Structure 1
Amino acid sequence: MTTAASSSPAPGATLSPLILACLAATWLVWGSTYLAIKFALVSFPPFFQMGTRFLAAGGLLLAWMRWRGAPLPSRRQWGHALVVGTLMLGGGMGGTAYAELTVGSGLVVAFIAVVPLMIALVNLGFGVRPRTLEAAGIAVGLAGVLMLTQGRGFQASPAGLAAITIACVTWSVGSVLSQRSLPLAPGAMGFASEMLCGGAVLMALSWLTAETPRWPPTPQAAAAWLYLVVAGSLIAFNAYMVLLARAPAGLASSYTFVNPVIAMLLGVAIGGETVTGYEWGAVSVVLAGVVLLMCRPRAR
């Protein structure tokens, strides 16, 4: 998951090799991280797994930015990072990993596809009113999520459904707050501070819930955790930032449509998960709502 951000791409932006590589990273890497979370759960409990992941990634990113001469965040910016990190990583990613204890990774990311719709709803509190197509997208997407909750995967796990619902709500609220009232430090330093604060909150949750990692971890779980740190938190995130700067906003946000399909296909093909025809139909309705939400009227 990531925030929805807007930017002004450079004029004449084209599908250069760099843009294509960044698209592949956001589509394939982010789409595969949900299955990696499931594999890592064999040895690393959900809050411990996410906490150590973001502490490692945040520490590496902060060290790299300091090496490049970037200043540390101010005390106020650290405070913002704590609130945003608690919501987006503590609640958002912690809830996602917890849901995957009992729900297939493909269905979890299919539910997460509703996040852009939730962000639009949260923005109502800041006076940002959706246009007609956006309102239609919210209605269609939420209807699709309601259908998805009636499928076999979520009906079998009320705890998983509650966890992923909380995850999507806290991620959406944190996303809007970071854009509207709690800005982070500029650039990658802001995201490093968010990962460090969120990772610390997740480790506190791990301690409060008395999680016990399996040690030594299985090779598959260790490889999945490393993949989440390097590919999921560092490579794919930086690729997304490049897309925001150099590609049209719609293209940068295309992962929203692609990730659920990638995650569900990987879950079925590699993870041995089962997705019913009804659940595929529900996902199609959710994605149709996201497409409507992302549509922009052509300028006159």
Structure 2
Amino acid sequence: MGNKVLDRFAVILLLGLCVIWGLQQVAIKFALEGISPMMQAGLRSIGATILLCLWMRWRGVKIFERDGTAWWGLLASLLFSGEFLLLYWALEYTTTSRGVVFLYTSPFIVALGVHFFVPGERLRLLQVIGLCCAFGGIVVAFGDNGGAGDTLVGDMMALLAAVFWGATTVVIKASPQRMLPAERVLLYQLAGSAVALPLLSLAFGEAGVTSLTMPVIASMLFQIVMVAFVSYLAWFWLIHRYQASKISSFGFFSPLFGVFFGFLIMDEAITPIFIVALVLVAAGIYLVNKPQAVKQTLVDKSSLPES
């Protein structure tokens, strides 16, 4: 369990998940036409929390249990809320292509965090090279906006969202939460953000839901059902059956698909310089997640995908 070599079905499913995560930023952009950023992120979490609770009841996984992880779960949910607050906000000020590239610098935050906070996990030479590639990609991306206007505020928000995402993963890896069923780890994050984000939306005086057109409704359903529920459960199914390290190495496809869909659907300009930045970040993700020579036999339940 958790140590099978990737077969054709697993590879196809992984690529499908990367497509879903690459489309997420496009869906957020569409929904911003009728729902303000924080309220949109909150509604996403509310819907996904309901679906996850129904799933857990059906599977017999305990929703509430005193296991000493509540405070760690609260911390993870606050970081998760901050990540999506920043990501949804960022996409009001930057393009989907730029947003996805900066967001997917998160694996490098994780690599640095576990080096200092998780015993036995130290940076390897390939990971250091990957970090250098990613840093170079960020510098190149900041230096080129492809004629998209002033994207600095949105770019910085997306980068900070990546920091929050990475910090969430490090907290889970370094705390007792790593021993929980994957559904409960996810529930802490979704339920916490389902409460926090709508309240923040009201506190900031957002307009909230202003227009429920078909594109807006379809975008929200995609985010709730396909991204925050189906794709996460599929991810957990994969990491319980296949080598987690080999699965993680597919992460570099998500920003590639994200940039492609930004170009294809949103008609965003992609310059040669930005392609260089994308390649550097994608290469860095691959190197940071590249499996070690020693075969892994344990499943890391804290390895949550980005949504």
TM-score, with normalisation over the residues of structure 1? Answer: 0.89
Equivalents in 1 of 2:294, 2:194: separation in Å?
43
Does the 8 A contact of 2:249 with 2:286 survive in 1? no
C-alpha distance in structure 2 between counterparts of 1:118 and 1:266, whole Å: 25
1:55 aligns with 2:46: yes
Q: Deviations over 1:21-43 (max 9, x none)?
A: 52243121111111111111111
Partner of 2:280: 285
Opposite residue 280 of structure 2, the aligned amino acid is V
The one-letter amino acid of 2:204's match is T
How many residues are paired up?
290
1:152 is paired with a residue whose SS is coil
Structure 1 gap segments, 5+ residues each: 1-7
Residues 165 and 16 of structure 1: CA distance in aligned 2, closer, same or farther (over 3 Å): closer
Q: 1:162 to 1:16 in 2, by over 3 A?
A: closer
Query: 1:103-160: CA deviations, max 9, x gaps?
Result: 1112111112211111111123215421111111112211211211111168722221
CA distance in 2, matches of 1:259, 1:73: 33
Alignment of 1:27-42 (within 5 A): 27-42=18-33
Q: How does 1:110-189 map to 2 (within 5 A)?
A: 110-126=101-117, 128-152=121-145, 156-181=150-175, 183=177, 185-189=180-184
Contact kept? 1:59, 1:192, Cα under 8 Å: no
Tell me whether 1:80 sits opposite 2:78 in the alignment.
no
Residue type matched to 1:54 in 2? S
Separation in structure 1 between the aligned mates of residue 158 and residue 123 of structure 2, nearest angstrom: 25
How high is the sequence identity, in percent, across the aligned residues?
24
Aligned-pair RMSD on alpha carbons? Answer: 2.2
Aligned equivalents of 2:149 and 2:211: distance in 1?
A: 34
1: CA distance, partners of 2:289 / 2:59:
36
Deviation, 1:14, is: 4.4
The within-5 A match list for 1:149-298 is 149-152=142-145, 156-181=150-175, 183=177, 185-298=180-293
Do the aligned residues in 1 keep the contact of 2:201 with 2:208 (CA within 8 Å)? Answer: no
CA distance in 1: counterparts of 2:84 and 2:212, whole angstroms = 21
Q: Distance in 2 between matches of 1:144 and 1:215?
A: 37
For the residues of structure 1 that align with 2:209 and 2:182, how far apart are their CA atoms? 36
Distance of aligned partners of 1:131 and 1:24 in 2 relative to their CA distance in 1, 3 Å threshold: closer
Q: Is the 8 A contact 2:77 2:190 kept in 1?
A: yes
Report if aligned partners of 2:246, 2:290 keep a CA contact under 8 Å in 1.
Answer: no
Of 121-130 and 56-65, more deviation after overlay is shown by: 121-130
TM-score by length of 2: 0.87
Cα 1:140/1:65, change in 2 over 3 Å? same
State whether structure 2 residue 14 is matched by structure 1 residue 23: yes
Paired AA for residue 29 in structure 1:
I
Report the Cα distance in structure 2 between the residues aligned to 1:78 and 1:217, rounded to whole angstroms.
36
Q: Output the CA distance in 1 between the equivalents of 2:46 and 2:224.
A: 9
State how far apart, in whole Å, the 2-side matches of 1:290 and 1:215 are: 38
Listed as ranges, the gaps of 5+ residues in structure 2 are: 296-307
Maintained 8 Å contact 2:249/2:285: no
Select between 239-248 and 227-236 the one with higher mean Cα deviation: 239-248
Specify the alignment match of 1:4 in structure 2.
none
1:3 is matched with none
Structure 1 residues 16 and 139 mapped into 2: Cα distance closer, same or farther (>3 Å)? closer
